[in-house]
Amino acid sequence: MVVKIDDVARLAGVSKTTVSRVLNNRGYLSDTTIKKVHDAMESLNYQPNAVARQLFKKETKLVGLIFPTVDNPFFGQLVAELEKRLFDSGFKVLIGNSMNDPEKEETYLKELISNQVDGLIVGAQNRDISEYHTSNLPVVSIDRNMNEDIPVISSDNYQGGKLATELLINSGAKHIINTNGPVNLKTPANRRTQAYADVMASHNMVPHTYVIDFNWDINKKERIINEMFKEYPEMDGIFVTNDMDAALVWRTAVKLGYKIPQDLKIVGYDGANSTRVLLPELTTIEQPIDEIAQVAVKTLIDRIQGKEIPAEQILPVKVWKGQSV
């Protein structure tokens, strides 16, 4: 049998209100009462039932996180950071990996919406899902444009794209390709490609953007990358929109006999911790992951507390100098 507040009250010889007061440090309590109650809780090994409390308070102290997958250096680090900061603010984290499955995202959303969570931080590859609009759950998005009401946190994607492209041009690359996710996905990350196109144009070079879908499995990605090499044999520089894909491009290039960076210069994007440990040679644009997490959590909590919050917050990127440029 599970111990409940009445059991504690009975043992301590008080009413359950009193126990509840001790539990929540509310109202006037005599020291002896407090002690009696604490002793009773101790000896019964009492754990308050959070669900009952949640039902009454209409507040769960739970935040839902919807991201493609935690099996990825960038999202793994991001989720870890979010979790850490949410924990420090008294929230626990319900996680939903939506990858490859818009239905799954919708299911998650539905289940999280009604009273299960106090707020949501999302960065999924979603299509337009109506629940984001119709519920009045506080939502903060990372690197996704959802709708007017949902604030977006992102790295300075335009600046990142600019830095990456300039890095390639300045190191002498003449035929520079860019990869990006599907363009129909509404994300500020598309600004990376915009910046690439702008910089290319200003140097009188022709931009080519190649689509690599985040959700494709590795074999499909490798096949597409091989095709890309065939299609652009003159390619001597490439700005890949994330580090995992950049690593695949690198591997493929080496297999095809390219020397990096002599024959092909590569710049990635993300710069997560574990990427930097496993492949420090990759030159990349580092997102300020920790700061993104920090701002996202602060923004969400402000939203939950009904404060005014900015519609968009853009955080500065840095260049990680590896040896691929």
Binding site for its own copies (CB under 8 A): 2, 45, 47-52, 54-55, 60, 62, 69-73, 76-77, 79-81, 83-84, 87, 92-97, 104, 108, 110-116, 134-135, 218, 243-244, 247-248, 251, 272-275, 277-280
Contact yes or no for 213/182 (Cβ under 8 A): yes
- The item of its own copies, DNA, none sharing an interface with residue 190, based on CB under 5 to 8 Å by kind, is none
Instruction: Rank residues 52 and 211 by Cβ distance to DNA and give the closer one.
Output: 52
Instruction: Rank residues 73 and 161 by Cβ distance to its own copies and give the closer one.
Output: 73
Contact yes or no for 255/304 (Cβ under 8 A): no
Cis peptide before 207 (omega within 30 of 0): no
- The item of DNA, its own copies, none sharing an interface with residue 299, based on CB under 5 to 8 Å by kind, is none
Residues that bind DNA (CB under 7 A): 2, 4-6, 13-18, 20-21, 23-24, 26-30, 32-33, 48-49, 52-53, 55-58
Query: Minimum distance between the CB of residue 178 and DNA, rounded to whole angstroms?
Result: 49
Query: Minimum distance between the CB of residue 10 and DNA, rounded to whole angstroms?
Result: 11
Instruction: Rank residues 55 and 278 by Cβ distance to DNA and give the closer one.
Output: 55
Query: Minimum distance between the CB of residue 15 and DNA, rounded to whole angstroms?
Result: 3
**Cα separation, 149 vs 135, whole angstroms:** 11
The DSSP secondary-structure symbol of 242 reads S
Query: Minimum distance between the CB of residue 85 and its own copies, rounded to whole angstroms?
Result: 11
Cα end-to-end distance, the chain, whole Å: 65
Q: How many CA atoms lie within 13 A of 267 on its CB side?
A: 29
In the chain, where do the E strands start and end?
A: 62-67, 92-97, 119-122, 139-142, 152-155, 176-180, 208-211, 237-239, 265-270, 283-286, 312-315, 318-320
